Amino acid sequence: MFRKPLRRLLAPAAATALLGAVLAAHSPSTAEAAVPDTIPLTVTNNSGRGEPVYIYDLGTRLSTGQQGWADAAGTFHAWPAGGNPPTPAPDAAIPGPAAGQSTTIRIPRFSGRIYFSYGQKLVFKLTTGGLVQPAVQNPSDPNRDILFNWSEYTLDGSGLWINSTQVDMFSVPYAVGVQRSDGTTATTGHLKSGGYNGFFSALRGQPGGWAGLIQTRSDGTVLRALSPGHGLETGALPATVMDDYVNRVWQKYTTSTLTVTPFADRPGTKYYGRVSGGVMNFTDASGAVVTSFQKPDADSVFGCHKLLDAPNDQVRGPISRTLCAGFNRSTLLVDSDQPDTTAANFYQDTVTNHYARAVHAQMADGKAYAFAFDDVGNQESLVHDGSPQQAYLTLDPLN
C-alpha cells in the first residue's frame, strides 16, 4: 500500500493539516484557495546518461483519500482493484527528458512520490490493499536491477513540500526545488563534486558490514546502497550493530537525567528520562511518568519504529523522534540535553549510523533525509512554500 510520507516529509503541524484534508471535508480557506489544483514540475536531465528516462507521479488524492497516479497533465487516475497474487498496475510512465533536456509536467494535490528510472520502466503491481512499492532489499523484486530513485512530495492547501530522500536507499542523485511567489527559488539535494563516488567509497571503507549495503548489477554497475534498516533485513549488517552504543546510553542514564525539549517553539515543555529496571521512563515537570521505552535494538533505531514508535501525538511521538535522532547521530552520550542541533557533534562515536554519516558528508548543503526523523534539528533535505509557482527535479551526474 502507498505509504504517505507524513512523518519524514512534513512538520507535525503540517502533518495534522494534511490528515485533516484527507479525513474530513472542509471549506477551503483563503490561503488554500491560493494554491492551485496543479502546479508545473520541470524535470531536468543533467545526468549525462544516454538511456531513456521514465517519470511516475503516484500517490493519494487529498480531496478523496483515493490512491492513484497522475498523467503529464496532472489528471488523476484511480488505481483499479488489485488482486492476490498482485496484478499489474496500469502503465503510469511519463516519458522523461533526454540528456541535457527538460520536461515539464503538472503535479496535482497529492501526498505521493515522483519516481524516475533510467533505461527501463518500473514494475508496479496492485494488491487488494493498494499499490505495491518497489522493495529492492528483496532480491526477487522485479525492480532490483533497474537504476531508479524517487522524491516525496505533498501539495495541499498549505502549499508544497518536496524532498530529496535517502530514508530507504541512496541511489542516482537528484535535487529538488520550488519557485516562490516572489520569484526566488529554494533548492536542496545536490551532492558535492565527486559526492556520489565519495559516498560509496566511504561505505566500502567502513568495517562491520556497511559495504554490504551496496547493490550492484551483474555487469558491475552500482545501483544503490540500502539504508541500514534494510541492511538488517538482508543480513548485510549484524543485528547487534548498535548494541554497544545503546548499552552505554542505558548505563549513563541510570545515574543521570536525559532532558528532552521536543518543541523548538515551546522551550518550556520538557521531559526527563531516567533508566530504572532496564526501562527509560520519562516524567513531566510534575514528576508524573508520561511514557516509557524499552531498550531499543538496531532495527528500532534505524527505522525509528517498533521500540521507538512515534505516534502522531504531543508526548510520546515527539520524545521518540528526539531519541531516534540522538541514537542515529550518536549524540546522547555527549549531550544530556536533547535534541542536540550542533551538526559538528553528529556521528562522532565509532558506533553510529555510518550510512547517514556518509550521506550528510557528501551533500552540498549538508542536508539529507538519511533516516526517518532527520528533520529533528532541521537537518532534512526539504523545501516548502505556501504559494508555490513552480517545482523542480534535477537529475544529477553519477560521479
Residues that are catalytic? 152, 168
Residues in contact with 206: Cβ distance below 8 Å, sequence separation at least 6, in sequence order: 354, 358
Separation CA 175–CA 47 (nearest Å): 11
**Terminal-residue alpha carbon distance, the chain:** 34
> ∠ at Cα 124 (123, 126), nearest 5°?
145
Tell me the residue type at 260: V
Round to whole Å and give the CA distance between 369 and 305. 16
The grid coordinates of residue 250 equal: 542505558
CA distances for 365 relative to 164, 273, 375, 388, 389, angstroms: 12, 33, 14, 22, 23
- Per the DSSP assignment, residues forming a β-bridge with 54 are 95, 117
How far is it, in rounded angstroms, from Cα 150 to Cα 173? 10
Beta strands 258-260 and 337-338 are parallel
Let me know: does 178 contact 391? Beta carbons within 8 Å: yes
Residue written as grid cell 522551550: 267
DSSP 78-123: EPPP--SS-EEPP---EE-PPTT-EEEEEEESEEEEEEEEESSPPP
Distance CA 114, CA 108 (A): 12
At 348, list the grid cell: 562522532
Q: Please enumerate in sequence order all residues whose Cβ is within 8 A of that of 365, keeping only pairs 6 or more positions apart, or say none.
A: 188, 190, 381
Rounded CA separation 281/297 (Å): 17
